[in-house]
Structure 1
């Protein structure tokens, strides 16, 4: 099954973008080649661009507190697994405290580093990070793998609490809904949402079908149109029935 996700608002869209960048960063920073570490460092710069919203940290703190208060209300419910509930509450406290203790604006340590900012300014230019443009960066890339890795992790570490918080928020959001089996007749599916607000949609489809969903949604209506790819990879309408699983997520 391939899972496709669709955000209903800009806040969730931002969190999903940052999550995607974080997965990319973790992959490339774990590699050894200087070019792979270049991608990891450039990804940190991309993170700063996306996370530049001043209210992102406060948004996450408010959401974590809201989730905590909501979960506390389940403590009196005998049907709830107390151990699991306490574990989630403890995780919420740990992540919230780490985010509160993160000083200054997100990524300020990178912005205050003139050497990193000089690299950032060149990487936005196609081919701008060549050795003749940035000889000091070229020299750094020739340092031992372990040293490069340590440097990159040191630059990233102040950002870690933010990514731990958004990972927890997205996990709770994804777990808030249950999948429902649906059929897209002749490759098309519509559902009236009747003004109910959702945060995110998750759609799972069998990989072997070769069906690719094009999703549009608002608080009134959800529309999914499935396409497929030919040899030229250009999307083409899929005219047959497509079974899929739909999950509507909301806190």
Structure 2
């Protein structure tokens, strides 16, 4: 099964992009080769571009507090496990405290490092990080994998509270939805939302069908059109009925 996600607004779109970058960063950070660590470092630079919005930190703090207040309302619900609720509340508190303790603009420690900024400036240029362009960077790449790992980890460390908060917010958002089994007639599906506000659409489909969803949505309607790919990877309309699971998520 493959799950596709579609954000309903720019705020969730930004969080999903940062989550995707964090997954790539974590993967390449734990590899051994200098080229793989180059990708990990370049991914930090991409994170700074996406997370450059000044209000991202405050948005996350507000959302963590809102989720905390919502969950506190479940304390009197007999269907809620107290231990599970306390664990989530404790996680929210830890994430909020760490995020508030993070000083300055997101990634300011990287921006203040002239050496890292010189590398960032060259990586924008195709092939710009060659050894003859950045000999000091090439020398750093010859260090042991553990040394490179430690350096990259230390440069990323001030960003960690931001990504911990993003992880919690997106996890709670995904868990808020209720899945329904649906069929797209002749590869097309529409659903009226009647003005109800959602944050994210999740669509799960059997990989063997070879059907690829193209999604669009607003507060009035969502539309899913399925396509397939030929040998040249060109999309073409999927003519058969498609069975899939649809989840609409909202805090």
Instruction: Tell me which interval the TM-score lies in, with the shorter structure as reference length.
Output: over 0.9
Q: Aligned partners of 1:182, 1:243: CA distance in 2, in Å?
A: 6
Q: Post-superposition shift, 1:104?
A: 1.0
Q: Aligned partners of 1:174, 1:183: CA distance in 2, in Å?
A: 22
Q: Deviations over 1:81-118 (max 9, x none)?
A: 11111110010001111101111111000000000000
Partner of 2:26: 26
Q: Deviations over 1:37-93 (max 9, x none)?
A: 000000000000000000000000000000000000000111111111111001000
1:1-251 equivalences in 2 (<5 Å): 1-251=1-251
Q: Aligned partners of 1:88, 1:95: CA distance in 2, in Å?
A: 11
Q: Secondary structure in 2 aligned to 1:223?
A: strand
Q: Aligned partners of 1:49, 1:238: CA distance in 2, in Å?
A: 37
Q: Aligned partners of 1:70, 1:167: CA distance in 2, in Å?
A: 18
Q: Deviations over 1:203-251 (max 9, x none)?
A: 0000010010000100001000000111111111001000000000000
Size of the alignment, in residue pairs? 251
Q: Secondary structure in 1 aligned to 2:23?
A: helix
Q: Secondary structure in 1 aligned to 2:194?
A: coil
Q: Aligned partners of 1:194, 1:8: CA distance in 2, in Å?
A: 15
Q: Aligned partners of 2:204, 2:235: CA distance in 1, in Å?
A: 18
TM-score by length of 2: 0.99
Q: Post-superposition shift, 1:165?
A: 0.2
Q: Aligned partners of 1:204, 1:123: CA distance in 2, in Å?
A: 36
Q: Secondary structure in 2 aligned to 1:49?
A: helix
Q: Which runs of 5+ in 1 are unaligned?
A: none
Q: Aligned partners of 1:166, 1:248: CA distance in 2, in Å?
A: 19
Q: Deviations over 1:123-145 (max 9, x none)?
A: 00000001110000000000111
Q: Secondary structure in 2 aligned to 1:151?
A: helix
Q: Aligned partners of 2:2, 2:235: CA distance in 1, in Å?
A: 17
TM-score by length of 1: 0.99
Q: Post-superposition shift, 1:178?
A: 1.1
Q: Which runs of 5+ in 2 are unaligned?
A: none
